Amino acid sequence: MFSSATVFDKGSSILEISCSDSVRLVNGTNLCSGRLEVKSNQSWSSVCEADFDLQDSEVICRELGCGGSSVIQATLYEAPVLTKEFHCGGHESTLLDCGSSDKDICSSGKAVQLTCSEPADVRLVGGASQCTGTLEMKQWGEWKPLAEKDWNLRSARDVCGQLDCGSVISTRRREETPLRHMWQLKSDCDESSLTKCLSSPAYSSYILEITCSDSIRLLNGTNLCSGRLEVKSNQSWSSVCEEDFDLQDAKVVCRELGCGELSVFRGELYGEVDTGWMNMFNCEGHESALLDCGRSGSTRNACSSGKAVVLACSDLNDVRLVGGASDCAGRLEMKHQGEWKAVISDSWSLKETAMICRWLDCGSPVSAVKRWDSSERPAWYIKQSCVQSTSTVRECVTTRDDTNYDILEITCLESVRLVDQSGSCSGRLEVKSDLSWSSVCEDDFDLQDAEVVCRQLGCGAPSVLQGGLYGEVEAAVWTEEFQCEGNESALLDCEGSGSVRETCSPNKTVGLTCSEDTRLVGEPSRCAGFLEMKNQGEWRPVADLDSAWDQKSAAAVCAQLVCGSAVSTSISFDDFPYRLVWWIESPCVQSASALQECLREIGIDECHTGLKVICSGPPLKRSLQQISCTVNKP
């Protein structure tokens, strides 16, 4: 048997370890697999495959603290081989408790290769079922709660799957007193198994509660609120035949999973998927759970359509901007677990803002500003990295709750957007009217019109105006010609022609690129100096957010400015103790097509360092010494 435990004694901790006296598995893929060896007369020997059966393997797996035996294999052995045959009943605690008989040779010439299932290391306790309650994990033979740290629904999804529960419904942080020892997760651990991310326990008062569905789940969807529907019955999961399901049933599923309104309901060819659920649901649409609905008494033997139910629920009605001049500007709020709260995040940029604008069916993002809120109202906390990689905001809300924070104020354009863009200041132009978006025909658009759009987006002057630059779509086309003078604040402030256009020639919808507001200053060449950017109408130096600025980051700046390759870069102090800066996320710079996407709002705006970059064109006869600097940021 192998186990370990940390014992706390008078303020200090010691590690206690237990090992098996007489059996081991060697050369396996984990602690619960490998070639079986037994210790006898102070030496280790393999066990003959011909002298071993399922009952013997069950005892071995139990003795080693593993799960049930899953595979017994044979492998060519290397001497010595144990000359005993075991006669276990399967209930014994250790292999040497079993009866045995002597053997002279191993007739098969093969040794036992054993694979036990890994032991259960995750559970939910204290809830109404095994699918809800406080998250506990087993490490070194000891169960402890997991100290909560900014979990969201995506984090909890794997726990529900590991417990053979349905889709994740909610996560919640609960405070317990007094402090107790809990397992902690290592920061930035990307292992697939949570137990591989556990670190030594520490005192904490916050535990994590997870609620999973007992009986339904959505699989293989684009997010947690979409996918093929499966229902659990008699401990097995089955898809549902499209013929046995209707709109009222689908609405109940969305409600049970804590998702928004139903947006998609269809049948999908299921291939090898078993549509084993053979009852028809008779929901009225108001039920809290699918299995609360009535069911038909008849059963079907097969799904004649060959299609399984696929659903998508939407949470877009659970996001809003309030307090602004329109529905596309104001304080970001969202409804989660039935409650509207402001949204906060440690870091935010135009990339996340663009996602919010799209969810709200607004135009392109203009700004995202943090404002201090002194009301001490609780707020939802969202990880910005999650927002960038999902199509639903609900799964990004964490269990963290704050009452002292900077709220997010977002401004999106109501009527103009650039789509299919490579950056926030380029893309195919679309204009909104009567709640629908239309492309603009190149023949009805000129440089003065483009200047107004770039200004409205908060970008620089137009640099490229070309039909079909960002692809063509079979969408509606704006029917009037814009007649801007170039000084208007918004495109829809411009005059329009009285003529009406019904079609636009192929590859002739407006593709627009506005210049980015980025420059290098302080040197004789425009291709060398301190990095400055214009954001929200204001030029400021740029400071490194994550202490990761390097030559690759500088190369991205040089490419953006069409200044050749990066010769050198440094994080440097200037003559002023502190100044207003824009913060930039260095890893983003290397992958983004527009530097504006990488600016972050972090709640402070002063720093005493700047980023100096020298590009190859035009060359400068000068070199800079790399200087390292650590900036304290929240």
Q: What angle do CA 399, 401, 402 make, to 5 degrees?
A: 155
Instruction: For residue 496, count other CB atoms closer than 10 A to its CB.
Output: 15
Kindly state which CATH superfamily the domain 416-514 is placed in.
SRCR-like domain (3.10.250.10)
Domain 317-412 of CATH type 3.40.50.10420: no
Instruction: For residue 282, count other CB atoms closer than 10 A to its CB.
Output: 13
Instruction: Return the closest-CA partner of residue 113 out of 66, 67, 65, 47.
Output: 47
Amino acid identity, position 113: Q
Kindly state the average pLDDT of the residues 109-133. 83
Instruction: For residue 395, count other CB atoms closer than 10 A to its CB.
Output: 21
Kindly state the average pLDDT of the residues 313-336. 86
Condensed to tens digits (0 to 9), the pLDDT of residues 397-446 reads 887 766 667 788 888 988 899 887 656 678 888 998 888 888 888 888 88
Alpha carbon 456 to chain centroid distance? 32
- The domain made up of 18-116 has a fold known as Mac-2 Binding Protein (3.10.250)
Beta bridge partners of 344: 381
Q: What is the pLDDT of residue 70?
A: 59
The CA distance from 1 to 17, in Å, is 10
Helix (H) or strand (E) holding 471: none
Look up tokens 């192929």; give the residue: 506
The two tokens of residue 511 are 């593709």
Question: Strand pairing of 416-423 and 426-433?
Answer: antiparallel
Amino acid identity, position 334: M
The CA distance from 515 to 610, in Å, is 23
Kindly state the average pLDDT of the residues 378-396. 75
Q: Which among 189-203, 370-384, 480-494, 523-537 has the top mean pLDDT?
A: 480-494
Instruction: For residue 133, count other CB atoms closer than 10 A to its CB.
Output: 17
Compute the radius of gyration of the chain from its Cα atoms: 32
590 and 509 Cβ atoms separated by less than 8 Å: no
Q: What is the CATH number of domain 122-212?
A: 3.10.250.10
Alpha helices in 95-236 (DSSP H): 153-162
The CA distance from 528 to 567, in Å, is 10
The CA distance from 598 to 348, in Å, is 9
Same fold, 18-116 and 416-514: yes
The two tokens of residue 91 are 């209930």
Q: What is the pLDDT of residue 189?
A: 62
Helix (H) or strand (E) holding 110: strand 110-116
Q: Can you give the residue ranges of every domain in the chain?
A: 18-116, 122-212, 216-314, 317-412, 416-514, 518-615
Kindly state the average pLDDT of the residues 5-14. 50
Residues 6+ apart with CB under 8 A from 302: none
Sequence-ordered strand ranges (E) for 375-517: 379-382, 397-402, 405-412, 416-423, 426-433, 436-439, 462-467, 482-483, 495-496, 510-514
The CA distance from 142 to 331, in Å, is 46
Q: What angle do CA 430, 434, 437 make, to 5 degrees?
A: 20
The CA distance from 561 to 583, in Å, is 19
Q: What angle do CA 358, 511, 324 make, to 5 degrees?
A: 35
Cis status, amide bond into 201, omega within 30 of 0: no
The two tokens of residue 432 are 């909104």
- Among the residue ranges 55-64, 409-418, 590-599, the one predicted with the least confidence is 590-599
Domain 518-615 of CATH type 3.10.250.10: yes
Given the candidates 3.20.20.60, 3.40.190.10, 3.40.50.2300, 3.10.250.10, the CATH classification of the domain at 216-314 is 3.10.250.10
Condensed to tens digits (0 to 9), the pLDDT of residues 560-577 reads 777 889 999 998 876 556
Say yes or no to pLDDT of 366 above 50: yes
Q: What is the pLDDT of residue 575?
A: 57
Instruction: Return the closest-CA partner of residue 612 out of 560, 559, 573, 561.
Output: 573
* More confident of the two residues 160 and 347: 160
Q: Which among 18-32, 155-169, 361-375, 587-601 has the top mean pLDDT?
A: 155-169
- Among the residue ranges 13-17, 27-31, 72-76, 117-121, the one predicted with the least confidence is 13-17
Question: Strand pairing of 339-344 and 379-382?
Answer: parallel
Burial of 273 (0-12, 13-18, 19+ CB in 10 A): middle
Say yes or no to pLDDT of 16 above 70: no
Condensed to tens digits (0 to 9), the pLDDT of residues 462-506 reads 877 776 654 555 557 787 888 999 888 899 999 887 666 666 776
